[in-house]
Homo-oligomer: A and B are copies of this chain.
Amino acid sequence: MSVHPDLPSWNDTPTRQAIIGFVHAATDEHGPAFVPPAERVAVFDNDGTLWSEKPIPVQLDFTLSRLARLAEHDPALAAREPYRAAIERDYRWLGQALVKHYHGDESDLKVLMRAVETAFKNQGVEEFAAEVSGWLRDAVHPVLKRPYLSCGYAPMTDLLRYLEAKGFTTYIASGGDRDFMRPFAERIYGVPPERVIGSALGLDFDDQAEDTRLIYKSHTEFFDDGPQKPVRIWSRTGRRPLVACGNANGDIPMLRFARTGERTGLRLLILHDDGEREFAYTAGAEDALARAQTHGWTVVSMKDDWASVYGDR
């Protein structure tokens, strides 16, 4: 476990060498693989790629506290999913809803998403951001027992900084909610709000008062997963990414988009194989792992490639 000036939280494995080799080639002005700085776009999934997503995504834990509050004085609501699961903090029901979604069964996810969409109806964007920040100040990961604010992967922030130092522009491109990520993405990852791409609730412009506000509708504008990821990346950046990093089947289109005939990007897939320091699972990543094998994507083993997961363990 030696410390490297570039990517210090990484072990010196073939994976680390592949990353550095790719970046050297893309930034070598006289080499055949040179890419001008303006086109060096790197996109990163968030949940399971930049921070832990088990037993449930952090956003869901945040939303649960709100759903539980909404159902507090309404026994009929409290008996229904997902309000029941929210009140009882039943991570099992919630976790399986996501696993079913990964396998193409949307039924429970729809029940969940409908409640999630309704939970913030008519809230202003700035009030929502303040609520997220306030909740995250004290929220603790239910299994790891560490603050959520310390659940970011140190090797990934190393990678963000390394790429930025090499002239890349980094973006988060997550299935998670854009406005949920924005209040903490800069603090945890050093990525400012304008470079956070994610799912979005529809917005209404409320101009009744002299001070105008943007308020959330109770329906999703788009769910930034699967084939929507390349669409949203193009909408926001106007570029095809050169580096794409994910960990699940929903990231496959984004990783594929990082390649054209003329130019092959760096495709990184985080493998959760470290039950000791984090969680060990491949559910929801089977197709992505298979494609990594057949298409030369670089698989990152948390166990072997990372000297540290959270910086302190």
Q: Chain A: residues with CB nearer than 8 A to chain B?
A: 38, 125-126, 169, 178-179, 182, 192-194, 196, 200, 203-205, 207, 211-212, 214, 227-228, 230-231, 234-240, 253, 256-257, 259-261
Identify the closest chain B residue to A232 (Cβ): B203
Shortest Cβ gap from A271 to chain B (Å)? 23
Q: Which of A207, A211, A234 has the most CB of B within 10 A?
A: A234
Identify the closest chain B residue to A226 (Cβ): B205
Q: Which 9 A-B pairs have the closest CB atoms?
A: A193-B238, A205-B227, A203-B231, A194-B237, A182-B238, A212-B256, A205-B230, A211-B261, A212-B257
Point out the residues of chain B lying under 8 angstroms from A204, CB to CB. 227, 231
CA distance A304 to B292 in the complex (A): 63
Known A214-B230, A259-B211; contact A205-B253, beta-carbon cutoff 8 A: yes
A235 and B182 contact, CB distance less than 8 A: no
A-B contact pairs, 17 of them (CB 8 A): A125-B234, A169-B194, A178-B238, A193-B239, A194-B236, A196-B238, A203-B231, A204-B231, A205-B230, A205-B253, A207-B227, A207-B253, A211-B260, A212-B253, A212-B259, A214-B230, A214-B231
Point out the residues of chain B lying under 8 angstroms from A207, CB to CB. 227, 253, 256
Point out the residues of chain B lying under 8 angstroms from A126, CB to CB. 240
CA distance A240 to B214 in the complex (A): 10
CA distance A36 to B216 in the complex (A): 27
CA distance A196 to B101 in the complex (A): 34
Point out the residues of chain B lying under 8 angstroms from A182, CB to CB. 238
CA distance A296 to B272 in the complex (A): 57
Known A38-B192, A205-B230; contact A179-B238, beta-carbon cutoff 8 A: yes
Identify the closest chain B residue to A228 (Cβ): B205
A178 and B235 contact, CB distance less than 8 A: yes
